Structure 1
């Protein structure tokens, strides 16, 4: 049985099975999929080498030989999955030999599964196209403001309370600045994985008015898909402000949350050296060495971040976040008013209540 990418979302009680190598799966996969690799990383490299040096037939022969020794294990695992789920969908990179041959074998043992036509590549083409459709009838409430004012903190609190907030920094595992990886998970997110996570997030949110943070086109090593960027630029902007003391406190809490932040900070200082005077750079290095974090954060805020900050869009609203709880309540009320009264969208639907 074959299925196209858009049909995945019409299947209830389904599991996606990625049969690519663990290395490929780690780099990107359809969110929620499980990895049952037909070849491990070493085996895949060997087959690839044979293909390049000896041609397709020898590579196929080696592949069949390696996979043949795993048939029993695959039959057992897929029988388990068929008992657990109503629908099982198998995919590889392009919907080629790996998924075709495996599905043939499974069928010969009486195990019916779906094969994703075109594999992951078809899924990716679909989500990038469909993201534009999803965003056509949505509007974004965009939180903008200087570094450390608490934008990300607000986004995460809103999500906790059931508001339709999209945490781009969490999806990218980067804050989008030169110090962006400090205090975050070590894992690197590929562009394909970021796009897939963002799409699934948008698809899961039913409200017509979404909340997000004002990010640049690039967040670390990934960039925002064009459809999302265009939607953000047309959004309603809310400037979040805060006094310097509050901003420094927020930055220290976020950026020094994980062990090893000092090494990352040292590397980041090297990257911004050209934007600081010689005296400022030496002072920053000394403050880091002495562990005088508050003074270091203040120096970087005033001499680096604030001097490079540009408010690109004129905000429709401004909320001071020196008192976080008061700011959070004011932002919630603003969202509810915009949503329920239809000031951002016409025909927003019935009154919004958090999940």
Structure 2
């Protein structure tokens, strides 16, 4: 059986990672880019677990083997196709245990040579959490800060499209970090999945500076690694400004894309009721009910968000983003001022 350590994954080109855990395990977290070819479906895994708890290890193994045997022809066919298209096929489960071991043995007996990730996802996670610090050692941050709605996320997306190095924490977390942060966001990201996505983003940075948004230690339920947050606090802060009209427009564009957002806003208003007070809370609910969305957004900006806005570090630059293309151009100039190490392919 061929095995590979987690850190060796990045030495291989033309590879595909195969997560053989159940679909729900895969959906909760997996190595970015991996595909899911489960040995057991969710319900099958539950039954095996029940047998293990009530009848013991051997009974659970026997039942698991009987299920796997019935799927071998389909599994072999799937792996043959993967081998036809990739030089390396790497298999992993949670901790490199029975699922990946037995599958690799069965594949080998059928003449299908794959590689097993030693220690499984758990070993991969241990590796990336340790290596994040190494990845950050040579990176400095240009930190975009500014009041709600000025367009920080929009600007980060534009900079990324231009090929500049960007760490978009809110996009990775699928949360905007406020009480309204999940409005219109249907994808749930676990801490483990966020850490994996963050690590892959950091691996993609080959400049000495990168853009990042000013965030607190937590983005919704996601906790930022301490080393990343500290590095961000040491960065060059750039405050973005915008008109109230544009701020309202940006928020409505960002938050109202997905059906059902109104109910999510109502629930979010309930959570900040104690901060708004009974009168303002009732007024905000009425605006939502009467579909006075622009009025509601302006009301919340003025009565809640702007009053709570604080800059943790004095900005070195202040840029007006009413003209978003001009704002982008100014940020690129700042990047050029600071960044001395970047691929020659970048249009400097």
Shift of 1:160: 1.1
2:189 maps to: 189
Match of 2:51 in 1: 50
Query: 2:63 is matched with which residue?
Result: 62
Is the Cα–Cα contact under 8 Å of residues 206 and 343 in structure 2 kept in the other structure? no
**Displacement of 1:351 after TM fit?**
6.1
* Maintained 8 Å contact 2:150/2:240: yes
By how many angstroms is 1:350 displaced?
6.6
Query: Are 1:339 and 1:352, in contact at CA under 8 Å, matched by a contact in 2?
Result: no
Give the superposed CA RMSD.
1.4
Alignment of 1:127 with 2:133, yes or no, is: no
Q: Hey, what does 2:198 align to over in structure 1?
A: 198
Name the stretch that deviates more: 233-242 or 119-128.
233-242
Tell me by how many angstroms 1:44 deviates. 0.3
- Deviation (angstroms), 1:335: 1.1
- SS of the residue corresponding to residue 325 of structure 1 reads helix
Q: State the Cα distance separating 1:349 from its structure 2 match.
A: 5.8
Q: Gaps spanning 5+ residues in structure 2: where?
A: none
Moved more, 264-273 or 55-64: 55-64
Q: Does 1:326 pair with 2:326?
A: yes
Task: For 1:241 and 1:180, locate their aligned partners in 2 and report how far apart those are by CA, in whole Å.
Answer: 20
Instruction: Give the corresponding residue for 1:142.
Output: 143
Q: Which residue in 1 is equivalent to 2:308?
A: 308
Give, in whole Å, the separation in 2 of the partners of 1:350 and 1:256.
38
Give the CA deviation at 1:236.
Answer: 1.2
Residue in 1 aligned with 2:160? 159
Task: Indicate conservation of the 8 Å contact 2:207/2:342, yes or no.
Answer: no
Aligned to 1:345: none
* 1:192-234 CA-partner distances (Å, limit 9, x unpaired): 1111111111112211211110111111221112222122122
Change (3 A) 1:252 1:48: same
Q: Name the structure 2 match of 1:249.
A: 249
2: CA distance, partners of 1:18 / 1:137 = 32
Q: Distance in 2 between matches of 1:354 and 1:69?
A: 55
CA positional deviation for 1:298: 0.8
CA distance in 2 between partners of 1:212 and 1:199 (Å): 14
1:39-81 deviation per Cα after TM superposition (whole angstroms, max 9, x unaligned): 0101100011111122211111111111111111111111111
* Mapped partners of 1:222, 1:85: distance in 2: 34
TM (normalized to structure 1)?
A: 0.95
Q: Please say if 1:284 is aligned against 2:284.
A: yes
1:353 aligns with 2:346: yes
Alignment correspondent of 1:104: 105
- Equivalents in 2 of 1:230, 1:277: separation in Å? 35
What's the offset of the Cα at 1:98? 0.5
Superposition deviation, residue 353 in structure 1:
2.1
Quote how far apart the aligned CAs of 1:84 are.
0.8
Q: Name the counterpart of 1:32.
A: 33
Give the TM-score, by structure 2 length.
0.96
Cα deviation, 1:252-306, whole Å, max 9, x if unaligned, reads 2211222211111100000000001222111101111111111101110011111
Supply the distance in 2 between the matched residues of 1:326 and 1:87 (Cα, whole angstroms). 46
Equivalent pairs, count: 347
Deviates more, 1:34-43 or 1:256-265: 256-265
Structure 1 pair 54–178 and aligned structure 2 pair: CA distance change class (3 A) = same
Q: Which moved more, 1:17-26 or 1:46-55?
A: 46-55
Asked whether the 8 Å contact 2:207–2:343 carries over to 1, the reply is no
Whether the 8 Å CA contact 1:2–1:115 is kept in 2: the answer is yes
CA distance in 1, matches of 2:204, 2:113: 28
CA distance in 2, matches of 1:188, 1:57: 36
Measured after TM superposition, the shift of residue 245 of structure 1 is: 2.2
The answer (yes or no) to whether the contact 1:238–1:319 under 8 Å persists in 2 is: yes
Partners in 1 of 2:68 and 2:74 — Cα distance?
A: 10
Q: Judging changes above 3 Å, is the alpha-carbon distance between structure 1 residues 64 and 350 closer, same or farther for their aligned structure 2 residues? A: closer
Question: Residue in 2 aligned with 1:343?
Answer: none
